[in-house]
Every structure is written in C-alpha cells, then in structure tokens.
Amino acid sequence: MSEEVLINITPQETRIAMVENGVLQEINIERSRSRGMVGNIYRGRVTRVLPGMEAAFIDIGEERAAFLHVSDVELKTDTPDIEVESAPPSIDTLLRPGQNLLVQVIKDPIGTKGARLTTEITIPSRYLVYVPNGRNIGVSSRIEDKTERDRLKTSLTELIVEEEGSLDGVGGLILRTAAEGVDAGQLQHDYRFLRRLWANLAERRQAMTDPGLVYEDLPLALRTLRDTLGQFVEKIRIDSRETYHRAVSFAEEMVPDILPIVEHYPGERPIFELHNIEEEIQRALEKRVALKSGGYIVIDQTEAMTTIDVNTGAFVGHKTLEETIFKTNLEAAAAIARQLRLRNLGGIIIIDFIDMAEPEHRVQVHQALNRALERDHARTKVCDVSTLGLVEMTRKRTRESLEHVLCETCPVCDGRGSVKTAETVCYEIFREVTRDARQYQPKSMLVIASASVIDRLREEDSTSLAELQEFIGVPLKLQIDLHYMPEQYDIVLM
C-alpha cells in the first residue's frame, strides 16, 4: 500500500487529495472565507440554558451561537454536590446565563445548526494530545502491542517527572497512534511544545473580556502533515512555493521525519490532473457509482441519514444467482467504504445490500466492509447484516460532506430531485384558468410559462385548450418567458 498526498493551493481555497495506489481516496477542501472551526478554542459566554434539551447556547463571538450539550460539559471531581460517576446532572446545575467558560469546537456548523462545543479542551501535536483538565496518561487504542503501550506510557511518565518534578497539576496526555516506535527525545519535544502553547493560550484568555477566538487550529495543509500522515505515505507534493516553505518550516519544528518526502511541484500541468482528481470529484457528486463488474450503487443523502442501494446492473455472473449476488455485494462493500471517505459522508448510514440466502455470505460481506473501513480516519461502527440484507452503520461527522461544500439546493426542484412534467403543469393551468374565469369574469387571459409548457399547450394539448376557451367563453393568449422554470407560470387577467 503506497499513499501520495497532493496539496493544491489557490488564494481562495486549499484542496488536499489522498491518493492510494493511484486511486483517489479522500478529498478535503478548506475555503478562505469559510474555514472550518473544529479544534478552535474560544472564550464563550452562556446566553441561554435549556433544561428541556439538557443543553445551552454559547456566544463565541461568531454570527451564530454555538451548542453545548450536557454530555460535553466536563465534570470536575471537586465540583460540590455532584457525583461524577452517577448519571449526568441537569444542565442548569452546571451552567447559568452570563457565565464565561473556555470551549472547543468539536463539530463545524452544518446546515442551519451552529457549531457543537465541548468544555473538555484537547490540544494535539504530532505524537501527543494535551488535555489541560485531565489527570491521566492514555495510549491510543490503535496501538495494539501491549509491550509498546507500556513502553510509551513509562517513557512519557518519566520525562514529565523529570521536567515538572511530579505528575501533579500537569494535566492529562494521550499518546497518539503516530507515537508508536518513537523515542523519548521526540516525546519530550512535543511535550514542551504543548506546555508552551497552553501557557500562551491561558495568558490570552485572561486578557480577553468578550467572547472570541482564543486559539485557532492550524490551516488545512499543516494540519494534514500533523494528523493524517501514516507510514505508507511516500510523497507529499505541494504546488505552492509559499506553502511549501511553510510546510518545511513546520516539519522541521514538529515532524522532522517527513522532511525527505515533502517536495514542491513546479509543473505547468495542474497537480490534480496527474491522477484525474478533478474527474473523480465530479463523479463523487453523482448519485450513481458504477462497479467494475457491471453492477452499481446508488447513494442518496437525506436530512436524517444517507442510504446506499446495491444493484447487480449488467453483471450476470458465471455460475449461480447466489454467487452473482455475493460477488456484487463484496465488490460493493469496498466501493462503499471508499465513497464514504471520498464524499465525507457521516451520521447514520443504511446500506441495502442485495439479499443473500447464505448466512456465510452475509458474514463475509460484513467482514469485507469492516476491512475496507479500517483505513478510514473517521470513527465508524457497523452492525451485522440483517436478514433483509440491510447494514446499519454510523460514521463520525465533524464537517460538511463534499456535496454540501461544493453544491447548493437546486433552484428548479428546490432540493426534491425532480420537477413536474410539462403535462402536469398544463393541467394545473387548465384548472386555475377555469377558477379565475368563474370568479373574476375577465375579457381575456394571458398565460405566461416556460417554453416546454407553452409548446405543449400549442401542440399536444391544443384541442384541450380550444375546448377550455369555448367552455369559459374567454379567449386565452400564450406567451413564453425564457426565465421561467419548468413549474413556474402566471395567469394575467385582462
């Protein structure tokens, strides 16, 4: 498995493409006017406490108030009259209007919803995550080797004691997956960086009197170098010389081990054309995704969930029907995992695999889906395949999907995905003309509509139009307006 990271920079946006074995797996877009907020730390002020929702709205100095649920309010063991291990207390016992607090964004504003917050602050570096209000040293669950977990925890504990004298008052630390195999010197470098950063952040917070930004996370390009690069990345190409120099400086300070693979791309051919990234992005906006066998999957994003339907299409197989279905589902499982990453689909996802009669086939398809999701950076949870062939799963959502970033609601269908036929609109016009003629008794009437509707009234429905004029006793005039949408029309009384 080989990975290549392509970083495309323009004044308006930064685009990061993660390519595995020549195939695009992820695309991340950050625009200068709408940069993501996840990871940012704010001085917030409680504006409303809603006991009925067990939540509060927080003013963080942005246009929209942010949302803080009781489950995201960190409970301190020294908080009086609250047992931390019991059920979460009511939100109105923890917060009050006008209260100031330090909060961090854990989910970007999505649609009409404001950003989601937590009071449990975490600040990541390359190998560590600092939890200022924490008390323990933890290790990423993705580091499975017990010996390595113990080594890392011991090494970090010893260096903290050496730096601070004891563990008291230091806060909590989490060893990230990237820390596997690193030595004490690298951990010490990260630890000192995080402590300096927190000290500066605390000073800035104390100096602020109004809600606002205290700490802004790194821009997308540098955040990618810090967070998402694994052992399989062979090359990082950046097409902006300025960003390249910033990346090199950042790598020298934070991730020196990746310096040999960071390079500037000076070519005249756009960097995203090297792997047909632009075409892949266009395909990722389509509902239908073709499979190599001839089958296909259909992806629909709705308000509540994303649904994915698997179909055999033109694939007829070579043996039995059950074998054809099984092979299509296996291929679809891998394609679905890629599409979830590529489109950044999150929340509840329902996958409708083709019904499989063999229980063993259902188990193997479920295993194939889980294997394909292992390389996904977002946390996922997958339920077993039901007897109907449905799989319920969730994928952590922290930012908008690719479709929501690049697209807006269709002004023609208003998001329905379909429009009324010209025939339907013509019959609506007939009914409204009849009502208006009886109610207002005009001398004549003018129908203004789109070209497709007027053409139908003049051709296929010309007989019906003549009969209508004779019935109401009022002459009808027709007029095309090229700016009218297929469903739009007006009837003018004259």
Q: pTM of this prediction?
A: 0.76
Q: How far apart are CA 134 and CA 340, in angstroms?
A: 33
Is 358 a residue whose pLDDT tops 60? yes
Q: How far apart are CA 43 and CA 347, in angstroms?
A: 28
What is the predicted pLDDT for the residue at 81?
Answer: 42
What is the predicted pLDDT for the residue at 228?
Answer: 65
What is the predicted pLDDT for the residue at 230?
Answer: 61
Contacts of 8 (CB under 8 A, 6+ apart): 14, 15, 16, 17, 239, 270, 271, 272
For the CA atoms of the chain, what is the radius of gyration? 29
What is the predicted pLDDT for the residue at 318?
Answer: 67
- Proportion of the chain above pLDDT 70, given as a percent: 95
Is 84 a residue whose pLDDT tops 50? no
Residue range 76-92: average pLDDT? 57
Confidence of residue 169 (pLDDT cuts 50, 70, 90): confident
Q: Please, what is the Cα angle at 22 between 18 and 28, to 5 degrees?
A: 20
Report which of 44, 39, 94 is spatially closest to residue 70, judged by C-alpha positions: 94
Residue type, 83: E
Is 157 a residue whose pLDDT tops 70? yes
pLDDT per residue over 191-242, tens digit each?
Answer: 988 988 899 899 999 999 999 999 988 888 988 888 766 667 889 999 999 9
Contacts of 70 (CB under 8 A, 6+ apart): 54, 55, 88, 89, 90, 91, 94
Is 473 a residue whose pLDDT tops 60? yes
pLDDT per residue over 252-292, tens digit each?
Answer: 887 787 889 999 999 888 999 888 999 999 999 999 999 99
Confidence of residue 349 (pLDDT cuts 50, 70, 90): very high
Is 469 a residue whose pLDDT tops 80? yes
Averaged pLDDT of the chain: 88
What is the predicted pLDDT for the residue at 180?
Answer: 85
Residue range 112-126: average pLDDT? 89
Confidence of residue 142 (pLDDT cuts 50, 70, 90): confident
Confidence of residue 414 (pLDDT cuts 50, 70, 90): confident
Is 33 a residue whose pLDDT tops 70? no
What is the predicted pLDDT for the residue at 183?
Answer: 87
What is the predicted pLDDT for the residue at 80?
Answer: 40
Which range in 31-45, 62-76, 440-454 is most confidently predicted, on average pLDDT?
A: 440-454
What is the predicted pLDDT for the residue at 229?
Answer: 62
Return the structure tokens found at 233: 């990345």
Other CB atoms within 10 A of residue 216 CB: 12
Confidence of residue 114 (pLDDT cuts 50, 70, 90): confident
What is the predicted pLDDT for the residue at 313?
Answer: 80
Q: How far apart are CA 447 and CA 286, in angstroms?
A: 36
Q: How many helices (H) and strands (E) does the chain have?
A: 11, 24
What is the predicted pLDDT for the residue at 167?
Answer: 84
What is the predicted pLDDT for the residue at 83?
Answer: 44
Is 77 a residue whose pLDDT tops 80? no
Lowest mean per-residue pLDDT among 35-49, 67-81, 178-192: 67-81
Contact criterion met (CB below 8 Å) for 387 and 399: no
How many C-alpha atoms does 333 have within 13 Å on its Cβ side? 27
The DSSP secondary-structure symbol of 389 reads S
Is 82 a residue whose pLDDT tops 60? no
The DSSP secondary-structure symbol of 93 reads G
Q: How far apart are CA 216 and CA 38, in angstroms?
A: 9
